[in-house]
């Protein structure tokens, strides 16, 4: 139950951030649209978003958390503090140098990320300046990730999980300013958002640093020195960042190719935001919570407990992922029309992004499975294997994107990203099985089949619901259409929940008993309480 409790904490925090992100993106679509200014901002924003997902959502933790957790377990807080301070001193120096170099080399970064912008000097210049404004955010997020990893090792997930919401809070405030000043569709809107990203980075860093101070674990600066701890982090960290960020690397590759097509970068961005909701809430939360839990079990408990944890984590993740996948395939155009089609975002944009959402959705189960499988490698301090497999995945993505783009445009890029994710997930699974580090039990296989059946039944209900609610979904009133979409989603969830319970895919009684037992333990005197159920 501790794993589920921590997942609920991180998942709820991530959901809060994603909901705020939706509000942000709805306003952004209205304020920026999909023209040259929007393309310039989105390409520049890709860099901080890439690093946020690489570091803040698990990849840095893949290297740092096992080292910090081991130091904490073997030597207590004093030894863990020494490790953290040694790494922080070198890390901060490296980040400062990287930021200075990036500020000077901003034109090269923009050209590398969006070579198609070279044909439009104004778009290229805007993207270059916005990149310079936002780049310090990367250093802030790297340090935030380190602090978050320490908090997670202490079992404090809440602040680290809620910190990313500050980015969306600041951006929504900036969008409100843009609306009030009448800057919609102008370069002023994009530059205002760029400065908001800059401010949000420092806000997030202060939040997690304050949480460390609150729990009595402040970290001081030392003179930078390459110690054994630093060398070990580097040997694990470089492959860990690459393997943990393969999904984001594939998206960046897609952005590079998409820059050759007008508005394609914007279409892929908005499609990415839709499927990132379930990926963020489910995949990221599972990865963040599972890594420290598996690290502890691999080091101090029998292998059977680690296998059981992985099976239940995959089962739980797919119970949420499969219905989300079916929904995004069944009604992508309805979702995009209701959420984004207003202001500068046209019906043509809805059609273009809807197809991209559908293509991305095919890879959603694989994206989440990667987040479940990778912690098994990282907990054993093996970052090389996922890195090699990730490299193969990137090669598949590049090859397929180049092959499909001339015919299918931006949709081909999204489809290539989905296929590459499946290649990566299958390779991770195969090696784990061969090493004896994962074995699907009968309960997992049975429930995955039943969850798939329940999801398909829900998909049929959603398609029928679109026809029935069509007059309200297409209403000019944003409130009416929004409520109709909410009703459609609620109906789909009800169908899925009922089907999952009736087929036995979800054992409500088991979760109910576990919850009652947990509450019972809380009401007993400390001396009468049994060991905590993990």
Asked whether the predicted pLDDT for residue 514 surpasses 60, the reply is no
User: Can you list the alpha helix ranges (DSSP code H) found in 154-284?
Assistant: 158-162, 165-181, 187-214, 228-244, 246-258, 264-278
**pLDDT score at 196:** 93
User: Which pair of tokens denotes residue 184?
Assistant: 């919609």
Same domain, 211 and 74: yes
Name the band, by pLDDT with cuts 50, 70 and 90, for residue 529.
Answer: very low
- Taking the C-alpha atoms of residue 213 and residue 232, their distance in angstroms, rounded to an integer, is 26
The four Cα atoms 199, 7, 212, 222 give a dihedral, to 10 degrees, of -80
3-21: string of b/e by CB count within 10 Å (b at 16+)?
bbebbebbbebbbbbbebb
Asked whether the predicted pLDDT for residue 337 surpasses 50, the reply is yes
**pLDDT score at 63:** 72
Q: Of 397, 423, 440, which one is at a domain's C-terminal end? A: 440
Same domain, 386 and 456: no
**pLDDT score at 166:** 87
Asked whether the predicted pLDDT for residue 344 surpasses 80, the reply is no
Share of the chain above pLDDT 90, in %: 19
Same domain, 223 and 287: yes
Same domain, 319 and 373: yes
Query: Model confidence over 35-76: pLDDT tens digits?
Result: 777 888 888 887 766 665 655 455 566 677 778 877 887 788
* From 195-209, 218-232, 346-360, 423-437, the region with the lowest mean pLDDT: 218-232
Asked whether the predicted pLDDT for residue 338 surpasses 60, the reply is yes
Would you give the DSSP letter of residue 196? H
Same domain, 180 and 281: yes
- 416 near 466, Cβ under 8 Å? no
Same domain, 89 and 220: yes
Query: Model confidence over 307-325: pLDDT tens digits?
Result: 777 888 888 888 888 999 9
Asked whether the predicted pLDDT for residue 528 surpasses 50, the reply is no
Residues 6+ apart with CB under 8 A from 103: 132, 135
Residues 6+ apart with CB under 8 A from 509: none
Number of H helices, E strands in the chain: 23, 0
Same domain, 428 and 495: no
Name the band, by pLDDT with cuts 50, 70 and 90, for residue 298.
Answer: low
- Taking the C-alpha atoms of residue 202 and residue 247, their distance in angstroms, rounded to an integer, is 26
Total domains, the chain: 2
Asked whether the predicted pLDDT for residue 518 surpasses 70, the reply is no
**pLDDT score at 49:** 67
521 CB-contact burial (10 Å; exposed 0-12 / middle 13-18 / buried 19+)? middle
Same domain, 154 and 256: yes
Same domain, 184 and 272: yes
Range of the domain at 173: 2-440
Name the band, by pLDDT with cuts 50, 70 and 90, for residue 487.
Answer: very high
User: Which pair of tokens denotes residue 254?
Assistant: 């897609």
**pLDDT score at 285:** 61
Same domain, 381 and 528: no
- 184 near 343, Cβ under 8 Å? yes
Q: Of 398, 425, 440, which one is at a domain's C-terminal end? A: 440
Same domain, 385 and 328: yes
**Average pLDDT for residues 198-209, to the nearest whole number?**
91
Asked whether the predicted pLDDT for residue 498 surpasses 60, the reply is yes
Query: Model confidence over 229-278: pLDDT tens digits?
Result: 888 877 766 665 665 556 566 667 777 787 777 777 778 878 887 877 77
**Average pLDDT for residues 397-406, to the nearest whole number?**
88
Same domain, 150 and 247: yes
**pLDDT score at 526:** 44
Asked whether the predicted pLDDT for residue 168 surpasses 80, the reply is yes
Radius of gyration for the chain, computed over Cα atoms and rounded to the nearest angstrom: 23
**pLDDT score at 138:** 82
- Evaluate the CA torsion angle 178, 183, 186, 192 in order and state its sign: negative
Name the band, by pLDDT with cuts 50, 70 and 90, for residue 521.
Answer: low
**pLDDT score at 358:** 93
**pLDDT score at 34:** 63
Nearest to 163 by CA among 120, 207, 124, 200: 207
Q: Of 419, 440, 461, which one is at a domain's C-terminal end? A: 440
Name the band, by pLDDT with cuts 50, 70 and 90, for residue 463.
Answer: very high
**pLDDT score at 289:** 60
């Amino acid at each position: 139950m501790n794993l589920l409790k921590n997942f609920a904490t991180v998942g709820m925090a991530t959901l809060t951030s994603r909901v705020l992100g939706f509000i942000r993106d709805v306003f952004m679509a209205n304020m920026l649209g999909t023209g040259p200014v929007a393309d310039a901002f989105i390409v520049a924003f890709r860099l901080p978003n890439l690093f946020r997902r690489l570091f803040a959502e698990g990849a840095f933790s893949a290297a740092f958390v096992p080292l910090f957790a081991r130091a904490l377990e073997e030597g207590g807080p004093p030894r863990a503090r020494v490790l953290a301070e040694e790494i922080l001193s070198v890390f901060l120096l490296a980040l400062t140098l990287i930021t200075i170099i990036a500020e000077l080399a901003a034109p090269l970064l923009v050209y590398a990320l969006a070579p198609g912008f070279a044909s439009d000097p104004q778009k290229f210049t805007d993207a270059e300046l916005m990149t310079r404004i936002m780049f310090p955010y990367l250093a802030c997020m790297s340090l935030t990730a380190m602090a978050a990893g320490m908090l997670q090792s202490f079992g404090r997930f809440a602040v680290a999980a809620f910190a990313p919401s500050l980015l969306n809070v600041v951006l929504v405030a900036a969008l409100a300013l843009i609306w009030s000043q009448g800057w919609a569709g102008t370069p002023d809107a994009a530059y205002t958002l760029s400065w908001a990203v800059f401010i949000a980075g420092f806000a997030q860093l202060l939040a997690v640093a304050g949480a460390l101070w609150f729990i009595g674990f402040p970290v001081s600066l030392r003179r930078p020195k390459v110690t054994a701890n630093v060398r070990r982090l580097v040997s694990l960290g470089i492959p860990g960042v690459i393997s943990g960020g393969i999904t984001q690397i594939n998206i960046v590759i897609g952005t590079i190719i998409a820059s050759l097509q007008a508005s394609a970068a914007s279409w892929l961005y908005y499609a990415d935001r839709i499927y990132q909701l379930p990926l963020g809430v489910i995949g990221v939360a599972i990865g963040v919570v599972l890594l420290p839990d598996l690290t502890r079990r691999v080091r101090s408990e029998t292998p059977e407990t680690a296998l059981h944890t992985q099976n239940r984590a995959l089962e739980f993740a797919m119970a949420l992922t499969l219905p989300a996948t079916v929904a995004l395939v069944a009604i992508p155009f309805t979702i995009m029309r209701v959420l984004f089609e207003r202001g500068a975002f046209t019906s043509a944009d809805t059609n273009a992004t809807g197809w991209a959402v559908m293509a991305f959705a095919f890879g959603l189960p694989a994206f989440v499975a990667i987040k479940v499988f990778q912690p098994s490698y990282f907990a054993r301090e093996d970052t090389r294997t996922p890195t090699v497999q990730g490299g193969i995945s990137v090669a598949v993505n590049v090859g397929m994107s180049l092959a499909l783009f001339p015919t299918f445009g931006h949709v081909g890029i999204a489809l290539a990203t989905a296929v590459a994710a499946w290649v990566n997930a299958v390779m991770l699974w195969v090696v784990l099985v061969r090493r004896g580090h994962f074995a699907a039990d009968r309960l997992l296989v049975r429930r995955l089949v039943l969850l798939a059946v329940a999801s398909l039944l829900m998909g049929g209900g959603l398609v029928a619901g679109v026809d029935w609610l069509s007059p309200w979904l297409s209403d000019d009133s944003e409130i009416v259409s929004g409520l109709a979409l909410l009703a459609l989603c609620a109906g789909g969830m009800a169908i899925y929940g009922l089907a999952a319970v009736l087929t036995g895919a979800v054992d409500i009684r088991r979760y109910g008993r576990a919850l009652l037992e947990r509450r019972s333990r809380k009401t007993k005197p400390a001396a009468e309480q049994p060991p905590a159920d993990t």
